[in-house]
């Protein structure tokens, strides 16, 4: 604080005495709103991404020594308390002969996904690329020796999809200093709450150098998806943030580093009830595990995925949907089919998704239950309404119906007049009636596409102007401007 006047004086003197320096733009503060907004532009447009959890855990695929190990597949080392020395042996079986990076990225593209995020190193500590600071990776420890991330980087570049890396910065069950492996290396914390491992040694000698390798050798890196920030003090988290900001200023940081990132990551599979202003993303499973488990073939249906996508987008978020490839490198065919079906829907209706803004209203997503009912955790009970959602672009509203609505469908209150309405998939005109100043859509029955039918409503003015209660009363009394009445 005390040095500030001195610094200011120095700057002023510097600028005055050497005019040439004025031309040098100081690089904008990476934490400024402007820098963050610019970094986030592609992410806010993209809406839908492919998450890939792949590693040695795809080999046991949920089963260890003939025993079914419950829980998510990529946690098998932890759940079965497999010693490092034994888990390491899996690397000798790693030989994904059917892995085809371009096939994976094409799947993402066919599904209408606009970015890809893959586990570069999960909690088990095994890296999917040729790391120079650890031998526990696909090249140094396996008979295959193929650098998975290099191949994916090339495929993503070729097909034009941004590629990001999940990196487990804190948990590393392979390292004595990493967090999480209490079966080989004892607890992370003592009964006094003090740290018992040389965690900073692990961070300095493996995690930080590996993040550096990813940013410098596998770029451009769209984002780093940090996770489970155990023992991530603000100082430690800052060291990772500094690496990302200095080595690759356009790279996004997710919401699980241990300090605020560029966007918020919700809990796994958790979709908030309401519109959120900040950029956010839901990491979600397509069945009930991230890493492949042979006993989980319970894929979400294309209709369910389309609903979740539009629901999330109408609340301002992104949907990062995961697949767990099998050990041979193949993404389970049934889950590929579901994704391609979603892609066909998006091919016809993507305009309602990509680059849109959230619902101008928001009440349509549900309502708090009356009389203060609480859920099991004691939170106010929220009753979701899932009949329709709305997204917006300048002058246009996209109403997506997941069920046949009651017809005519009364549009939510707005001051704007409706110019016209049409079905997005085939351009067919949808009749608009106006009653008491309130436009209604006469949607033909049966509904066009039972998965989800989008009706585009063109309005005057770029954005919805909300009707306040007083305006609504005036409308009902017939006092509202003639303008609203002339729509149809
Ligand atoms: C973590 C990992 O442990 C898991 O294996 C997977 O990679 C998943 C995407 O992320 O699990 C979490 C992390 C955070 C929450 C839930 C599961 N959370 O905040 O609710």
Q: Is the pLDDT of residue 153 over 90?
A: yes
pTM equals 0.91
Q: Name the band, by pLDDT with cuts 50, 70 and 90, for residue 375.
A: confident
Q: Is 387 in the pocket of ligand 1 (CB under 6 A)?
A: no
Whole-number average pLDDT of the chain: 92
Task: Dump pLDDT digits (tens) for 70-127.
Answer: 999 999 999 999 999 999 999 999 999 999 999 999 999 999 999 999 999 999 999 9
Task: Dump pLDDT digits (tens) for 391-421.
Answer: 999 999 999 999 999 999 999 999 999 999 9
Q: Which of 117, 265, 290 to mutate to test the pocket of ligand 1 (most atoms within 8 A of CB)?
A: 290
Q: Name the band, by pLDDT with cuts 50, 70 and 90, for residue 466.
A: confident
Average pLDDT over residues 146-163: 98
| Residue 431, helix vs strand vs coil | strand
Q: Is 268 in the pocket of ligand 1 (CB under 6 A)?
A: yes
- Which residue did the predictor score with more confidence, 440 or 375? 440
pLDDT of residue 468: 74
Q: Is 72 in the pocket of ligand 1 (CB under 6 A)?
A: yes
Q: Is the pLDDT of residue 4 over 70?
A: no
- The Cα–Cα gap between 183 and 195 comes to 16
Average pLDDT over residues 273-293: 97
Instruction: Copy the structure tokens of residue 175.
Output: 């390292």
pLDDT of residue 444: 96
Q: Is 74 in the pocket of ligand 1 (CB under 6 A)?
A: yes
Q: Name the band, by pLDDT with cuts 50, 70 and 90, for residue 27.
A: low
Share of the chain above pLDDT 90, in %: 85
- What residues have CB less than 8 Å from 134, skipping those under 6 apart? 125, 127, 140, 174, 206, 210
- The Cα–Cα gap between 480 and 437 comes to 7
Q: Name the band, by pLDDT with cuts 50, 70 and 90, for residue 19.
A: very low
Task: Dump pLDDT digits (tens) for 43-69.
Answer: 999 999 999 999 999 999 999 999 999
pLDDT of residue 22: 52
123 Cα–ligand 1 center, Å: 10
Which one, of 21, 19, 37, lies nearest residue 29 by Cα? 37
Task: Dump pLDDT digits (tens) for 180-238.
Answer: 999 999 999 999 999 999 999 999 999 999 999 999 999 999 999 999 999 999 999 99
Q: How many helices (H) and strands (E) does the chain have?
A: 14, 19
228 Cα–ligand 1 center, Å: 7
Three-state SS across 30-84? Answer: CCCHHHHHHHHHHHHHHCEEEEECCCHHHCCCCEECCEECCCCHHHHHHHCCCCH
Atom number of ligand 1 nearest to Cα 72: 5
Residue nearest atom 20 of ligand 1, based on CA coordinates? 267
Q: Name the band, by pLDDT with cuts 50, 70 and 90, for residue 273.
A: very high
- The Cα–Cα gap between 218 and 229 comes to 23
Atom number of ligand 1 nearest to Cα 119: 7
In our burial notation (b when 16+ CB lie closer than 10 A, e otherwise), range 458-480 reads ebeeeebeebeeebeeebeeeeb
Q: Name the band, by pLDDT with cuts 50, 70 and 90, for residue 480.
A: very low
- Which residue did the predictor score with more confidence, 76 or 1? 76
Q: Name the band, by pLDDT with cuts 50, 70 and 90, for residue 362.
A: very high
Atom number of ligand 1 nearest to Cα 265: 19
| Residue 188, helix vs strand vs coil | coil
pLDDT of residue 483: 44
Q: Is 266 in the pocket of ligand 1 (CB under 6 A)?
A: no
């Amino acid at each position: 604080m005390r040095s500030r006047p001195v610094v200011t004086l120095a700057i002023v003197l510097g600028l005055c005495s050497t005019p040439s320096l004025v031309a040098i733009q100081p690089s904008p503060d990476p934490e400024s709103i402007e820098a963050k907004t610019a970094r986030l532009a592609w992410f806010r447009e993209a809406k839908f991404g492919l998450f890939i959890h792949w590693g040695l855990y795809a080999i046991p695929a949920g089963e260890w020594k003939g025993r079914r190990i419950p829980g998510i597949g990529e946690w098998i080392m932890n759940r079965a308390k497999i010693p490092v020395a034994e888990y390491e042996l899996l690397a000798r079986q790693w030989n994904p002969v059917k892995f085809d990076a371009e096939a994976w990225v094409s799947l993402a593209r066919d599904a209408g996904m606009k970015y890809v995020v893959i586990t570069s190193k999960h909690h088990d500590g095994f890296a999917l690329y040729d790391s120079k600071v650890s031998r526990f990776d696909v090249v140094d420890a396996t008979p295959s020796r193929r650098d998975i991330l290099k191949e994916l980087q090339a495929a993503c570049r070729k097909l034009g999809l941004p590629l990001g890396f999940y990196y487990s910065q804190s948990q590393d069950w392979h390292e004595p200093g990493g967090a999480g492996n209490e079966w080989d290396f004892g607890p992370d914390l003592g009964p006094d709450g003090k740290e018992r491992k040389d965690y900073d040694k692990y961070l300095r000698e493996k995690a930080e150098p590996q993040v550096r390798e990813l940013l410098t050798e596998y770029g451009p890196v769209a984002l780093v998806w940090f996770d489970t920030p155990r023992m991530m003090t603000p100082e430690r988290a800052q060291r990772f943030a500094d690496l990302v900001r200095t080595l690759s200023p356009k790279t996004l940081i997710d919401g699980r580093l241990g300090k605020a990132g560029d966007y918020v990551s919700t809990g796994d599979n958790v979709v908030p009830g309401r519109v959120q202003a900040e950029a956010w993303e839901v990491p979600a499973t397509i069945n009930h595990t991230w890493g492949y488990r042979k006993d989980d073939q319970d894929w979400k249906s294309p209709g369910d995925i389309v609903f979740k996508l539009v629901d999330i987008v109408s609340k301002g978020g992104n949907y990062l949907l995961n697949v767990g490839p099998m050990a041979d490198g193949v993404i389970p065919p049934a889950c590929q089919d579901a994704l391609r079906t979603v892609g066909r829907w998006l091919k016809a209706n993507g305009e309602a998704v990509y680059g849109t803004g959230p619902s101008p209203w928001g009440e349509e997503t549900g309502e708090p239950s009356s009389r203060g009912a609480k859920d099991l955790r004691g939170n106010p009970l929220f009753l979701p309404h899932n009949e329709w959602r709305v997204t917006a672009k300048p002058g246009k509203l996209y109403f997506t119906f997941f069920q046949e609505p009651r017809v005519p469908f009364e549009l939510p209150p707005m001051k704007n007049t409706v110019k016209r309405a049409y079905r997005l998939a085939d351009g067919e005109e949808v009749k608009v009636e106006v009653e008491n100043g309130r436009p209604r859509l006469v949607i033909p029955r049966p509904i066009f596409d039972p998965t989800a039918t989008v009706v585009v409503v063109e309005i005057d003015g770029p954005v919805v102007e909300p009707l306040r209660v007083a305006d609504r009363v005036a409308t009902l009394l017939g006092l509202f401007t003639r303008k609203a009445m002339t729509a149809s």
